[in-house]
Homo-oligomer: A and B are copies of this chain.
Amino acid sequence: MKSKKVKAFAPATVANVAVGFDILGFALSNIGEVASLEKIENRPEVYLKPVKGFATLPLDPLKNTATAGLVRLIQEKKLSYGFNVDLEKSIPIGSGLGGSAASAVATIVAANFFLKNKLTLSEMLDYASTGEAVASGSQHADNVGPCLYGGLVLIQGLPEVLISKIKTPSSLRCIILLPDITIYTKDARKLLQPQVTMAQMIEQSANLAGFVLGCQTGQFLLIKRSLRDVIIEPQRAALIPGFKSLQAAALAAGALGCSISGSGPAIFALAANQQQALSIKKNLLKTAKQENVKLKNLWISNISTKGAHLLTGRTGLV
């Protein structure tokens, strides 16, 4: 019996990672979006069900990040069939955790099942990026890339998009603190100066290279020394009440680094191991209370080496 309905999971992601504005991102393991696709025979169209808890999301498939890429896929691959899309979102909108990217990736990964897995990762990246562009105003793969590939990835944009995996130490943990405010990527981008000084570029470049090398070779001291954003974070920190205190709290508890996830307001910190992550979480909770920062959530995650994937069994393939 042919399956007519498929579910795919796509993880939340941390883009920029302090030192890799628009070019680095990694996948989280405990949170993400699930897209259920039901095939509609002989009707190459896309229908999106209202998303529970996300009443403001547009239902026009061309205007929703989850489905814009799907529409393009159907057109370009000249599919004879279409999809009913049911989205279970758990990443809050405007959180800086790549929710729109994850929605876009989940639908494409699910759709690939009906195309007999013939889409390459590059093609899926491209279609999912179409969706992401609906949300951010331009096609960036810094969330879509790690969401689809898993792990920590480098995204090179020119002349064509290339995703390269960077190893990370297996004990590495990420602490995510999500304040109860919303920041839209479009707005956060407008804040940024269009130029940087040569001195800033040199320092940030050295940090970037040190972070990549430190992750790939498992040198925690090098990661710690390098994970410091001298360009973007100073321009955006004011958007997040209490950021400086929270960052100081994470660093005081031994964090390898602490900065803004994507365009925020989520804050991420990296820890060398679970024990350190627990100390950081504790210190962040204490400081959030002191600073009257209301939290939506605060949790510890691995860097997930698994990217978006089909769900099977009870919650998956039906």
Spell out A's residues near B (CB within 8 Å).
Answer: 20-24, 154-158, 162, 164, 166, 192-198, 201-210, 212-213, 216-217, 219, 222, 225-226, 231
Evaluate contact between B162 and A209: CB separation under 8 angstroms: no
Of B154, B206, B216, B231, which one neighbours A23 at CB under 8 angstroms? B206
CA distance A216 to B211 in the complex (A): 13
How close is A13's CB to chain B, nearest CB, in angstroms?
Answer: 17
A162, chain B: closest CB distance, angstroms: 6
> Which residue of chain B has the shortest Cβ distance to A195 in the bound complex?
B195
B-side contacts of A217, CB under 8 Å: 216
Residue of B nearest to A165 (CB): B213
B205 touches A204 (CB 8 A): yes
Contact call A154/B225, Cβ cutoff below 8 A: no
Decide if A195 touches B198 in the complex (CB within 8 Å): yes
Residue of A194, A197, A208 with highest tally of chain B CB at under 10 A:
A208
CA distance A201 to B195 in the complex (A): 9
Shortest A21–chain B CB gap in Å is 6
CB neighbours of A210 from chain B (8 A): 154, 156, 162, 164
> What distance in Å separates the Cβ of A152 from its nearest Cβ neighbour in chain B?
11
Shortest Cβ distance from A215 into B: residue: B213
Q: Pull 13 A–B residue pairs with CB atoms less than 8 Å apart, ordered by A.
A: A20-B205, A23-B202, A23-B205, A24-B209, A155-B206, A156-B210, A157-B202, A157-B206, A164-B210, A164-B213, A164-B219, A194-B197, A216-B217
Instruction: For the complex, give the distance between the alpha carbons of A94 and B205 in Å.
Output: 26
Q: Is the CB of A206 within 8 A of B156?
A: yes
Residues from chain B with Cβ under 8 Å of A226 in the complex: 156
Which B residues are CB-close (under 8 A) to A154?
Answer: 206, 209-210, 213
Asked whether, in the complex, the Cβ of A201 is within 8 Å of the Cβ of B196, the reply is yes
Nearest-Cβ distance from residue A5 to partner chain B, whole angstroms: 39
Of B197, B198, B206, B216, the residue contacting A216 (CB under 8 A) is B216
Q: Hey, which chain B residues are within 8 Å of A162, CB to CB?
A: 210, 222, 225
Chain B residues within 8 Å of A24, by CB: 209
- Interchain nearest-CB distance for A22 vs B (Å): 5
When distances are taken between beta carbons in the complex, the residues of chain B under 8 Å from A198 are 21, 192-196
In the assembled complex, the Cα of A23 lies from the Cα of B199 at a distance in Å of 11
